[in-house]
A and B are shown apart, each in its own frame.
Chain A
Amino acid sequence: MTASTAPQVHPPLAWPAYKSTVLRAPSRPLVGIPAGLTEGTGPVGAALLGDHPVGPLDHDLTRQHPGEPLGERIIVHGTVRDSAGRPVPDSLVEVWQANSAGRYPHHADQHPAPLDPNFTGVGRCLTDPQGRYRFISVKPGAYPWRNHDNAWRPAHLHFSLFGRAFTQRLITQMYFPGDPLFYQDPILNAVPEPARPALISTFDLSETVPEWALAYRFDIVLGGTPFEPGAG
């Protein structure tokens, strides 16, 4: 098994405060499996994408339509490392988010907030040789959901990362510092308290572009790759 003695950082699957877990979380304990080639390898970089390579503007969610989206322009960047601290290059990073009014262009999103014809809210890139990624977007709005009375999701970006092995695959959410909605959000609060700050980006003045866009930093740590020397 690769399961370590490190403190659990991931949320439990069964978390009744988030009502959708009640009928979907497995009821039986997960079964240990020896670290092997199948789970210890994975699709890497451009080979994963085949005939649909990352385009030059895929990282810029503000330039995918004829006009500019409404909202507060932001830069979101960071470094992807493995648990041994090594940068993870050539990893596909996918993001998606609501628009600045808190609305997704998704048929099931019924929040009566405006759609933005200039914003789809979907981006992707590959990490560079130092494991870095960078997106340009607009700050997403908070939005209501029906989990509990007067429930609102804090503003967030969804992140999907492949790393370099099946074991490293991660889908998570990035939040913004100081959001007053954190306390009532069962999705963020399902994460053990000591690990929660890792999901909250930090405002980054050094990467903020004067008279153009605020920057937020969100560094990401993936699990180990058992077949790469020195991996944690």
Chain B
Amino acid sequence: MHTLSQTPSQTVGPFFSHALPWPDGPHVVPAGTPGGFWLRGRVLDGAGAPVPDALIESWQADRQGRFGHPGGFRGFGRCPTDEHGNWAIRTVKPGPVPGPDGRPQAPHLALSVFARGLLNRVVTRVYFADEPAANAADPVLAGLPEPARSTLLAGQTEDGYAFEIRLQGDHETVFFAL
């Protein structure tokens, strides 16, 4: 089959914070949504310094594990990092989604990270540390050795979950090739 060559990626650059963030970007679900929580994290560089000019985007199934989202569930979140490298997205835990072989996957979100200095986005997944049985059976997690596997687990916090993104170095987050 004839295929066209894709348009190359370029960095988002340093000057997007007046252009890309949306007022409701971090709100995958509105306040008061049953099961809603904050997924919070930092983006850190190879020296452990916060990355203050990154943009995080999330995509996920709804609580029933559905995409296409009947009922107005947007499934998408977008949040720039602040001067301390912090970002936050208010969402719900997605239901189980079947993998390519039909086996169920553990609940997860897809995440994109854009930043000055990233010539292409990097892509990862957020899993939940409080789903040990589902995580143990998840085909993507099962393919990862420790300690890489642990970088994809969001731990519980007072108002939801925490997920650190380490772009480089010790405890570097696992990033996926699509």
Contact = CB atoms under 8 A, between A and B. Distances in A.
Interface in B152-168: 167-168
B9 interface: yes
Interface residues of A, number: 80
Contacts of A43: 59, 74-76
Contacts of B173: 26
B8 A191 contact: yes
Interface stretch (B15-23, B34-42, B129-137): B15-23
Contact of B117 (A25, A104, A106): A25
Given A13-B118, A26-B168, A43-B76, A83 B9 contact: no
A11 to B, nearest CB: 4
B172 A232 contact: no
Contact of B47 (A23, A94, A192, A195): A23
Interface string A25-37: 1111011111111
Given A84-B3, A109-B15, A167-B178, A27 B168 contact: yes
A223 B118 contact: no
Interface residues of B, number: 75
Contacts of B108: 38
**Secondary structure at chain A's binding surface: helix, strand, loop or mixed?**
loop
A29 B108 CA distance: 22
B12 A171 contact: yes
Interface centre among A24, A30, A109, A190 (most CB of B within 10 A): A24
Interface of A: 1-4, 6-7, 9-13, 15, 18, 20-28, 30-39, 41-43, 47-52, 81-85, 94, 96, 98, 104-106, 108-109, 120-122, 158, 160, 166-167, 169-173, 187-188, 190-192, 195-196, 198-199, 220-223, 232
B25 to A, nearest CB: 9
Nearest to A108: B14
Nearest to A85: B4
Contacts of A96: 15-16, 18-20
B136 to A, nearest CB: 18
Contact of A85 (B2, B14, B19, B51): B2
B176 A31 contact: yes
Given A21-B118, A30-B176, A36 B99 contact: yes
Contacts of A104: 15, 18
A11 B7 contact: no
A131 to B, nearest CB: 12
Interface in B59-73: 59-61, 67-69, 72
A105 to B, nearest CB: 6
Contact of A120 (B13, B18, B114, B177): B18
A23 B169 CA distance: 9
A38 B60 contact: yes
B140 interface: yes
Given A13-B118, A20-B117, A24-B167, A221 B4 contact: yes
Given A37-B97, A171-B9, A173-B10, A30 B4 contact: no
A31 B144 contact: yes
A18 B16 contact: no
Contacts of A24: 45-46, 51, 115-118, 167-168
Contact of A37 (B46, B61, B69, B174): B61
A160 B21 CA distance: 12
Contact of B175 (A23, A30, A39, A172): A30
A8 B14 CA distance: 25
A3 B76 CA distance: 24
